[in-house]
């Protein structure tokens, strides 16, 4: 009999990760289900060695849980069929692959191959959705602080709007795409996207295709010296209509991305925050060895 090994993150879904994962029991799946706390796995080599041939993995959580799994497990993720059961708050990966968020676990094995790599502060990380640098990194930092303070309802769009109004100051930046440099003043956002969505539904790169044959990614640049313009156009990102503001929004496709800021800012990788970052590099279609 086939078996699902459900890896759950107890900290996802505002601390309800295990409870949310166990909703799998209500789906009457034909597979036997065994639950494992993903934060308690100290060695993925040992963990994978304990699995039988008929076992498949189900990752239960949000985008951050998926990111933790692909980075901690590394190349081992390709040794098993991997399913995803969304229990997070953003679920941008599920949104991008257009699978119903209230459906049964979806097989995501094909999406875990050839993932892009981002280098930050001398370390390399794989990512599924995006690397966010600018006010999006600021938003995840504030969200983390709110979560640590016990708050369960976190509105990232509201945090971003407050940031534009004064709490976040735009930067001067250089964005290099496949060797072509672009310099900006008063830059608010410079995410590199593997998928179309981030931040709980913002369609930052409407034409980005995570299944593109060339493995390219998109970097979206959002820049303006006017807070009013930055604020007015911001809601249009949720529908991907920000691209109509051609004087303040540009999107480049490429494989090698290098973004530098003139002062340290928070950066986020699939929703996981890294503080005090001045630059990042992305290499698309390459995996770590």
- Chain segment 79-129, per-residue pLDDT in tens: 899 999 988 777 899 999 987 655 789 999 999 989 999 999 999 999 999
Residue 288 counted as domain residue: no
**pLDDT surpassing 60 at residue 287:** no
- Split at pLDDT 50, 70, 90, the class of 160 is confident
Which pLDDT score, from 0 to 100, does residue 278 have?
Answer: 97
The β-bridge partners of 123 are: 120
CATH number at residue 146: 2.60.200.40
Distance, CA of 71 to CA of 172 (rounded, Å): 31
- Percent of the chain predicted with pLDDT > 90: 70
- Split at pLDDT 50, 70, 90, the class of 245 is very high
Distance, CA of 83 to CA of 24 (rounded, Å): 12
Which pLDDT score, from 0 to 100, does residue 288 have?
Answer: 37
Residues 143 and 255 in one domain: yes
Residues 186 and 105 in one domain: no
Which residue has 């257009």 as its token pair?
98
Residues 210 and 172 in one domain: yes
| Residue where one domain finishes, among candidates 84, 112, 140 | 112
Which pLDDT score, from 0 to 100, does residue 189 have?
Answer: 95
* Mean pLDDT along residues 126-136: 94
| Residue where one domain finishes, among candidates 112, 133, 148 | 112
Alpha helices in the chain (DSSP H): 12-15, 17-21, 44-49, 63-73, 92-96, 135-148, 156-162, 227-233
Which pLDDT score, from 0 to 100, does residue 102 have?
Answer: 53
Q: Tell me the residue range of the domain where 44 lies.
A: 3-112
Determine contact, residues 46/16, Cβ cutoff 8 Å: no
pLDDT in tens, 14-33: 778 899 999 999 988 888 99
Residues 211 and 235 in one domain: yes
Dihedral of CA atoms 171, 276, 11, 150 in degrees, nearest 10, equals -80
**pLDDT surpassing 60 at residue 286:** no
Tokens of 79: 């040794």
Least confident of 49-53, 186-190, 253-257: 49-53
- Split at pLDDT 50, 70, 90, the class of 153 is confident
Tokens of 187: 């830059």
The residue among 142, 149, 145, 133 whose CA lies nearest residue 167 is 142
What pTM, to 2 d.p., does this model score? Answer: 0.90
In whole angstroms, how far apart are CA 163 and each of 167, 211, 234, 247?
Answer: 4, 33, 12, 21
Instruction: Give the 3-state secondary structure of residue 75.
Output: helix
Which pLDDT score, from 0 to 100, does residue 91 have?
Answer: 84
Going 223 to 226 to 230 to 233, the CA torsion angle's sign is negative
Residue 212 has phi, psi (to 5 degrees) of -60, 140
Residues 224 and 162 in one domain: yes
Which pLDDT score, from 0 to 100, does residue 101 have?
Answer: 54
Which pLDDT score, from 0 to 100, does residue 125 have?
Answer: 96
Residues 173 and 243 in one domain: yes
Task: List all residues 6 or more positions away from 41 whose beta carbon is below 8 Å from its beta carbon.
Answer: 7, 47, 72
Tokens of 172: 């001067």
Determine contact, residues 161/188, Cβ cutoff 8 Å: no
Which pLDDT score, from 0 to 100, does residue 236 have?
Answer: 95
pLDDT in tens, 44-83: 999 999 999 889 999 998 898 999 999 999 999 988 999 9
Distance, CA of 38 to CA of 58 (rounded, Å): 11
**pLDDT surpassing 80 at residue 273:** yes
* Mean pLDDT along residues 191-211: 94
CATH number at residue 85: 3.40.50.10330
Residues 241 and 277 in one domain: yes
Query: Average per-residue pLDDT in the chain?
Result: 91
């Amino acid at each position: 009999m086939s078996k699902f090994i459900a890896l759950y993150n107890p900290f996802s879904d505002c601390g309800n990760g295990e409870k949310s994962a166990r909703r799998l029991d209500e789906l009457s799946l034909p597979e036997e289900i065994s639950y494992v706390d993903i934060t308690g796995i100290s060695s993925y080599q040992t963990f994978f060695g304990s699995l039988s041939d008929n076992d498949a993995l189900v990752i239960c959580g949000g985008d951050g849980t998926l990111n933790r799994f692909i980075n901690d497990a590394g190349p081992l993720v390709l040794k098993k069929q991997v399913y995803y059961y969304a229990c997070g708050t953003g679920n941008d990966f599920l949104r991008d692959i257009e699978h119903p968020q209230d459906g049964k676990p979806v097989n995501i094995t094909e999406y875990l191959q050839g993932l892009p790599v981002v280098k930050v502060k001398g370390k390399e990380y794989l990512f599924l959705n995006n690397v966010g640098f600018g006010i999006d990194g600021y938003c995840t930092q504030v969200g983390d602080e709110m979560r640590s303070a016990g708050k369960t309802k976190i509105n990232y769009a509201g945090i971003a709007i407050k940031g534009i109004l004064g709490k976040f100051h735009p930067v001067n930046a250089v964005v290099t795409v496949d060797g072509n440099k672009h310099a900006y003043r008063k830059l608010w956002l410079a995410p590199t996207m593997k998928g179309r969505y981030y931040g709980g539904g913002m369609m930052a790169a409407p034409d980005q295709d995570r299944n593109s044959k060339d493995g390219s990614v998109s970097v979206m640049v959002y820049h303006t010296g006017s807070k009013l313009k930055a604020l007015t156009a911001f809601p249009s990102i949720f529908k991907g209509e920000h691209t109509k503001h051609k004087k303040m929004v540009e999107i480049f496709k490429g494989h090698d991305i290098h973004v530098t800021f003139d002062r340290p800012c928070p950066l986020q990788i699939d929703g996981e925050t890294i503080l005090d970052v001045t630059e990042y590099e992305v290499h698309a279609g390459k995996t770590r060895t």
